[in-house]
Amino acid sequence: QVQLVESGGGLVQAGGSLRLSCAASGRTFSGYAMGWFRQAPGKEREFVAAIRWSTGSTHYADSVKGRFTISRDGAKNTVFLQMNSLKPEDTAVYYCATGWATAQPMNVMTSPDKYNYWGQGTQVSVSS
């Protein structure tokens, strides 16, 4: 059974930082990508960042590029999303997900349909 559990969300002021974690279990992830998505009330789920587990190659949404960093700790099966210079527009529930990514560049792994398993989400709220 694949399980993804997000943590680290909370309330932060604009300009602040937050670090999200996604604890993954149930399989080895060497052939997979890990992605972060977010969903604000009334909006569709939006791609944030993706990382290839085996190589660490990454891809980011334009809205977060330069501010957010996705990384992984292979030994701990944990994916992180370091969020800096947070804006109120970043307010959303953040989800981690995993999907098969062999021979798929990370810039292709931007659709929720590419991912098979999802965590429960963690709330990030950014105030002005």
Q: What φ, ψ does residue 103 adopt, rounded to 5°?
A: 65, 15
Burial letters 73-95, b for 16+ CB under 10 A, else e: eeeebbbbbebeebeeebbbbbb
Task: Give the number of residues written for the chain.
Answer: 128
Q: Whole-number mean pLDDT of the chain?
A: 96
Q: Do the Cβ atoms of 30 and 54 come closer than 8 Å?
A: yes
Tens-digit pLDDT profile for residues 48-67: 999 999 999 999 999 999 99
d(CA 59, CA 61): 7
Residue % of the chain over a pLDDT of 90: 95
Q: What pLDDT score was predicted for residue 85?
A: 98
Tens-digit pLDDT profile for residues 7-45: 999 999 999 999 999 999 998 899 999 999 999 999 999
Q: What pLDDT score was predicted for residue 128?
A: 93
